Amino acid sequence: MSGQSGTGSHAAPAAAVGSGVIDLLGLLAYARLVAFFRLAGDAELAPTLASKGELADLAAAEHANYRRLHDRLAELGVEPEAAMRPFVAPLDAWHARTEPQSWLESLVKAYVGEGIAGDFYGKLAEVCDRRTHELVRDTLVESGRAEFVAAQVRRAIGEDPRLAGRLALWARRLVGEALSQAQSVAASRPDLAALLGSGARARDAEVGSAEDAAAAADPAQAADATSADLATVSRMFAELTEAHAARLEAMGLST
Amino acid sequence: MSGQSGTGSHAAPAAAVGSGVIDLLGLLAYARLVAFFRLAGDAELAPTLASKGELADLAAAEHANYRRLHDRLAELGVEPEAAMRPFVAPLDAWHARTEPQSWLESLVKAYVGEGIAGDFYGKLAEVCDRRTHELVRDTLVESGRAEFVAAQVRRAIGEDPRLAGRLALWARRLVGEALSQAQSVAASRPDLAALLGSGARARDAEVGSAEDAAAAADPAQAADATSADLATVSRMFAELTEAHAARLEAMGLST
């Protein structure tokens, strides 16, 4: 497997993987660090000592994910902070544009945001080398958070049904802003977009095995992000919104 | 050893330790949870990705400390949140009265606040049963944080010597507010004050071994917090300020 991920001919550092994979790990590391900050902040504002503790546990789990991704980048000979840096602005912009105004909004944001980001990273990881795939998959394990959040939102809506419409609107805005930032990332990081595009093509061609998908994501190809890649990426984003609809239903929100 | 900590005759829950010890564990658990929130917030505001990551590591270590204290309370048959609750108001008040106005102030607060609190908890732990003593001591290990902070403050003062006076004043205020809240806790939690008082008496009498100190902290005595205990506690606070002076010097601040 690892041979298929190659070293590529492009600007990747002294790493055994292509620069699209480095981008993915850097993006994910920063995303986990920011998720840690968000969850720690949510924990501080949680209404009871018990819920403060539970959210602090979730925050600590995100820190552990960040640390694993960070250390994997270092192990690949890449300066982790350099790999994370291109994704600071778009992720910070997403958070700045979606600042929750209430405890419920922050719960919905955690659920919807982490959900759609998780689907996105999961699709990307499928076309990476096995070690990256496993690392990304492990750091996406949500360990009960989704159910914790969905149950709290359902209960709140049960107590005040007027909340449903406002929170559904909020969820729609979260996804719109997420797709907008993701498009901007895809446009500015051609290797990452090519990796994503190749994965989508592999699926479109109904290539079944992970090995074939990885071959389709050959980094020699990955250097050329084309407008075709960007179009493929857009189609993939459309697919992501289907899983999003399922999450809304789990919270008792209509789409 | 554990026999000496006894079960006491007073209102302790189904626990193998006295209620002064439960108070100590509850106080410490909430203090670690709040330290986690503070450090996570500081990490988010840190000026570089690398320092964000380092402070996030420290925050995660505080969460692990919180989790151990929390789980020890549960193991003792005490509801952890109930044990923590009496200390929410004084600790929150301390933090509210000492809100840092800059990155440097938050560093000094972390160093001075954690330092004096650590000395205080350490003195308390000395008179507890061995298991509590070890647990408290383990969760106070600072693992390089002090040096990290002191070095940053020294560098900043080196670059702008006018900072020294302002930060020294800030450190003085931090200690004043800490002692004020600690006095209030000692007055409202007689078992905790008695535990502290008995430990101070044991030291005053130059009782050398931890066993003797633990015997002096017999929970049968610990139920009676007297004004003598409170006076002893005040003397101990005076001792704490000596270690504080050493920390100020390490940061390049005069006392």
For A170-184, the three-class secondary structure string (H helix, E strand, C coil) is HHHHHHHHHHHHHHH
pLDDT at B104: 87
Distance from CA of A81 to the nearest CA of B (A): 6
In a domain, B3, yes or no: no
Chain A residues in contact with B53 by the CB 8 A cut-off are 33, 66, 70, 80-81
Chain A residues in contact with B43 by the CB 8 A cut-off are 37
**Count of structural domains within chain A:** 1
Tens digits of per-residue pLDDT, B130-172? 888 888 888 876 556 677 788 888 999 999 999 999 999 999 8
What tokens does B144 get? 């390089």
Question: ∠ CA B138-B142-B145 to the nearest 5 degrees?
Answer: 165
- Residues with Cβ within 8 Å of B108's Cβ and at least 6 positions away in sequence, in order, are B100, B149, B153, B167, B170, B171, B174, B251, B253
How far is the C-alpha of B121 from the C-alpha of B116, rounded, in Å?
Answer: 9
Q: Which of the 8 DSSP states describes residue B6?
A: -
How far is the C-alpha of A36 from the C-alpha of A42, rounded, in Å?
Answer: 10
Distance from CA of A136 to the nearest CA of B (A): 19
Chain A residues in contact with B33 by the CB 8 A cut-off are 52-53, 56
Q: Which residue of A has its CA nearest to B26?
A: A49
CATH number of the domain that residue B215 is part of = 1.20.1260.10
Chain A residues in contact with B74 by the CB 8 A cut-off are none
In a domain, B6, yes or no: no
In a domain, B5, yes or no: no
- Residues with Cβ within 8 Å of B203's Cβ and at least 6 positions away in sequence, in order, are B213
Say which residue the tokens 């076309």 belong to.
A127
Q: Cβ A85–B49 below 8 Å, yes or no? A: yes
pLDDT at A204: 59
Chain A residues in contact with B64 by the CB 8 A cut-off are 60
pLDDT at B201: 66
| Listed ranges A229-238, A246-255, B102-111, B232-241; the one with the highest mean pLDDT | B102-111
Q: Backbone dihedral region of B37: left (phi > 0), alpha (psi from -120 to 50 degrees) or beta?
A: alpha
Q: Which domain holds residue B177?
A: 16-250
What tokens does A173 get? 């805005």
Q: Cβ A50–B84 below 8 Å, yes or no? A: no
The letter for the amino acid at A25 is: L
Mean pLDDT over residues B103-112, rounded? 85
With H, G, I as helix, E, B as strand and everything else as coil, classify residue A142.
coil
pLDDT at A45: 86
Helices then strands, counting H and E runs in chain B, come out as 13, 0
Q: Cβ B88–A48 below 8 Å, yes or no? A: no
Of A37, A81, A85, the CB nearest to B40: A37
pLDDT at B36: 94
In a domain, A7, yes or no: no
In a domain, A5, yes or no: no
- Burial class from Cβ neighbours inside 10 Å (0-12, 13-18, 19+) for residue B235 reads exposed
Taking the CA atoms of residue B244, residue B249, residue B250 and residue B253 in that order, the dihedral angle to the nearest 10 degrees is 100
Q: Does the pLDDT of residue B215 top 70, yes or no? A: no
Q: Does the pLDDT of residue A37 top 50, yes or no? A: yes
The per-residue DSSP string of A51-103 comes to: HHHHHHHHHHHHHHHHHHHHHHHHHTT--HHHHHGGGHHHHHHHHHHT--SSH
Q: Which residue of A has its CA nearest to B92?
A: A44
* CB B107, CB B167: distance < 8 Å: no
Q: Which of the 8 DSSP states describes residue B85?
A: G
In a domain, B50, yes or no: yes
In a domain, A109, yes or no: yes
Q: Does the pLDDT of residue A125 top 80, yes or no? A: yes
How far is the C-alpha of A242 from the C-alpha of B193, rounded, in Å?
Answer: 59
What tokens does A28 get? 């994910």
* CB B84, CB B29: distance < 8 Å: yes
Chain mean pLDDT for chain B: 80
With H, G, I as helix, E, B as strand and everything else as coil, classify residue B169.
helix
Chain mean pLDDT for chain A: 80
The percentage of chain A sitting over the pLDDT mark of 70, rounded to a whole number, equals 80
Of B36, B44, B63, the CB nearest to A37: B44
What is the Cα A149 distance to its own chain's centre? 18
Q: Which residues of A touch B (CB under 8 A)?
A: 30, 33, 36-37, 40-41, 43-44, 48-50, 52-53, 56-57, 59-60, 63-64, 66-67, 70, 80-81, 84-85, 88
- Place A8 in a pLDDT band, splitting at 50, 70 and 90: very low
Which range, of A33-42, A106-115, B61-70, averages the lowest pLDDT? A106-115
Task: Flag whether the ipTM exceeds 0.85.
Answer: no
Q: Cβ A56–B66 below 8 Å, yes or no? A: yes
* CB B24, CB B110: distance < 8 Å: no
Chain B residues in contact with A88 by the CB 8 A cut-off are 49
Chain B residues in contact with A50 by the CB 8 A cut-off are 81
Q: Which residue of B has its CA nearest to A43?
A: B37
pLDDT at B207: 43
Mean pLDDT over residues A227-239, rounded? 74
In a domain, A70, yes or no: yes
- Burial class from Cβ neighbours inside 10 Å (0-12, 13-18, 19+) for residue A9 reads exposed
* CB B164, CB B254: distance < 8 Å: yes
Which among A49, A54, A87, A92 is the top mutation candidate for probing chain B, defined by the most B β-carbons within 10 Å of its own β-carbon? Answer: A49
Which range, of B105-109, B125-129, B231-235, averages the lowest pLDDT? B231-235
Mean pLDDT over residues B177-198, rounded? 83
Closest CA to B240 of B196, B191, B208: B196
pLDDT at A6: 40
Q: How many CB atoms lie within 10 A of CB A165?
A: 12
* CB A32, CB A143: distance < 8 Å: no
